[in-house]
Amino acid sequence: MSEFKTPVKSRKPLEANEKITIPPSPFLNRLGYGTGVSVMQLVRSPRAGQIRSPWALKMLNKRVKPNRVYTDRLQAEAELLQRMSHPNIVGFRAFSKSKILYLGMEACDLSLGDMIEKKVEDDCEPFSQKQILKVALDIGKALDYLHTKMQILHGDMKSYNILVNGDFVTCKLCDFGVTLPLDENGVFDKENAGNALYFGTEAWSAPEVINGGTITNKTDIWSFGLTLWEMMALMPPHSAIDESGASLDDESFDESMDYFNDKYGTRPDIPANISPETYSSALTIFFCCTETNPSSRPSAQHLVEVVEHFTSNLT
């Protein structure tokens, strides 16, 4: 595999970006949301007859009072995005904390999580193996760039943090608000992390997160494996009570949630409607990514090489 060379771009300081007018939130289309923030679409006015691409704006949720924690986190994410340049990582556009705090980013069509929800609503079949391999290839490249060139752990891999353009033309990784530094060996660099700790989302968290082990770049790989599982199961990992399909909405569900907590950090079963023959390549990747021992999981670079091999053999 040829080495990916990071393009070098001239960057303006964060406070010297294009000044924009943000209309009241009722006139903005919400693309997503997270802890304390909303992601809105901004359609920019044309300039001298030119059509300008829309932006995605990450802004404080109206119910959240501006505070140093959210401001610092958003600025740190903006500074990180500004330093990165990769075709499978969402692009930086602007940052402002003057009157309205926002991070402007490249806008994409839909998150993979939204696409999964839509399939469930429309009672559709799981994603095809070809689509799963496309996600694995594009996001594998993004993770390789993060882990090796930037020495950063994403820290919250899941379907809602993957953006898709068109019919899986390009997939991009987004949401870098809880990243952690890695040392030259791919291990969580506590000395340079300050007070930062692994955040993540429990249902996607690796065994070493749940059980208190060493955090490494392989921690992202586990969560990514469960993200590919989402594309087959059309549900979040560990959200079904048993293989019969009983779910969180089932009347017999124990409100204590103990059943689900015990499942976190384990490999989910293959969904009942997934044929091992039809999805052989996707399942191979899923099993490799979700090995309990982190050293048995592939690096992002190795993952890309395996996916490229599988993709070349698709008929």
Enzyme catalytic residues: 156
Q: Which two tokens stand for residue 236?
A: 């979040």
User: What share of residues in the chain are helix, strand, coil (percent, to 5)?
Assistant: 35, 15, 45
| CA-derived radius of gyration, the chain | 20
Contacts of 11 by beta carbon, 8 Å cutoff, 6+ apart? 82, 83
Q: Which two tokens stand for residue 21?
A: 């007018």
Residue 213 neighbours by CB under 8 Å, 6+ apart: 207, 294
The DSSP string of 146-207 is IIIII-EE----SGGGEEEETTTTEEEE---TT-EEB-TTSBB-GGGSTT------GGG--H
Closest CA to 139 of 119, 114, 111, 118: 111
| Pick from 71, 110, 117: nearest CA to 90 | 110
225 in Cβ contact with 268 (< 8 Å): no
Q: Where are the alpha helices (DSSP H) in 18-128?
A: 68-83, 112-121
Residue with tokens 């693309």: 31
